Amino acid sequence: MKYFKEISDDVNNYFNILSKEIPEFIYEYIKAPEIQRLKGIGITCGVNFSQIRTNISFYSRFEHSIGVALIIWNFTKDKKQTLSGLFHDIANPSFSHCIDFLNGDYEKQESTEELTTKIISDSEYIMKLLKRDGIKLEEVDDYKIYPIADNNTPMISADRLEYSFSNGFSLENIWKDGDIEKIYSNLEIMKNEYGEIELGFKDKDISELFIDRIKLLWRDFVENRFIWELIANIIRRLNEENVLKKEDLYKLSEFEIIDIAKNSNIIEVQKLVQNLSQAKDLFESDKEVEGKYCIKCSAKYRYIDPLIKLDNEKITRLTEISEIARKAKNDLLKIDFSKFLYSNF
């Protein structure tokens, strides 16, 4: 069955793994213009406009938001938590975390989230539905209040789990047949070391399979700062020249903005867009490389150290019992932000 007509069969099949049951209310809420807008915003924050990743398919924030909502529904069957997941990226501008870089928010990457409440409260369509359903704004405008929806790194949350799955099949093709279903079906709600609920694994071998697959993405998420900083510079120059206003980031798709940049009369911007499309391999250097476009900045470490339930019913973090998980985490944390990154142009 194709649950969402505007979404491909492959993604619908993936959604069917996340939740065998699609609650009827989701269909109504995703019709909101504020949610529909997310179709023009990619999960990769513009990396898909370069060649540094495989770029198998364009996966939007719209699809990501539905995926997060379905994960929450699958484990909680709670309407308010599910809607908080659906709304969690509603304040994302085009190019998402690139705008965090534009704002100087390299490490938390949360600078755009403050508009979430305003966008929901200003939506007549959403507020009408919430009033009908007896749901208060403050019950759905911050998914951080629900630990299954969101929590701190390195825990599993619906958001972190979904973008790990979707980046894995849209950007890097890390998943083999049956991997996602095998991994997802092994998760259950557990109590973590802080006394909070969190998704965790029942079997060590499956949790290690998960880590072995997604560890490639962790390095990607850090190295992507090169593209994000490059796009931030494009947006900055367009803004300085009054070609693009910041409010346009909430009106135009990423593809429309790239077209504006290509067709601008700003030679520097045209060159940056050309560099973006040509960016392929990334290299490190202790010093700035003459004749190359170099960047040096930090980034947020995105990784997961999942809960695992042992045979004696004790619950612990996977890194406590798994060399595979420890090595994956340690390799990521060794990335040196003091080095310059540059590409082939």
Confirm whether 204 is domain-assigned.
no
Q: What average pLDDT does this structure show over 126-145?
A: 97
Query: What is the band of 144 on the pLDDT scale with cuts at 50, 70, 90?
Result: very high
Answer whether residue 96 is part of any domain: yes
User: Is residue 134, in this structure, part of any structural domain at all?
Assistant: yes
Burial class (CB in 10 A: 0-12, 13-18, 19+), 239: middle
pLDDT in tens, 3-29: 788 899 999 999 999 999 999 999 999
The answer to the question of residue 157 being in a domain is yes
Tokens read off for 66: 């539905």
Residue among 132, 139, 16, 158 at smallest CA distance from 76: 158
Give pLDDT tens digits for 44-93.
999 999 998 888 899 999 999 999 999 999 999 999 999 999 999 999 99
- Name every residue whose Cβ is closer than 8 Å to that of residue 205 and which is 6 or more positions away in sequence: none
Per-residue pLDDT averaged across 278-297, rounded?
90
pLDDT above 80 for 36: yes
pLDDT value of position 106: 44
Q: Is residue 48 part of a domain?
A: yes
pLDDT in tens, 223-250: 988 888 899 889 999 999 999 998 999 9
Q: Is the pLDDT of residue 194 over 60?
A: yes
239, part of any domain:
no
Domain containing 15 equals 9-162
Q: Map tokens 């299954």 to a residue.
A: 148
Query: Is 50 exceeded by the pLDDT of residue 109?
Result: no
pLDDT at residue 315, rounded to an integer? 97
Q: Which of 179-188, 201-210, 239-248 has the lowest mean pLDDT?
A: 239-248
Tell me, yes or no, whether 241 lies in a domain: no
Counted domains in the chain: 1
CATH number of the domain enclosing 95: 1.10.3210.10
Q: What's the pLDDT score for residue 130?
A: 98
Q: Domain for residue 198, yes or no?
A: no
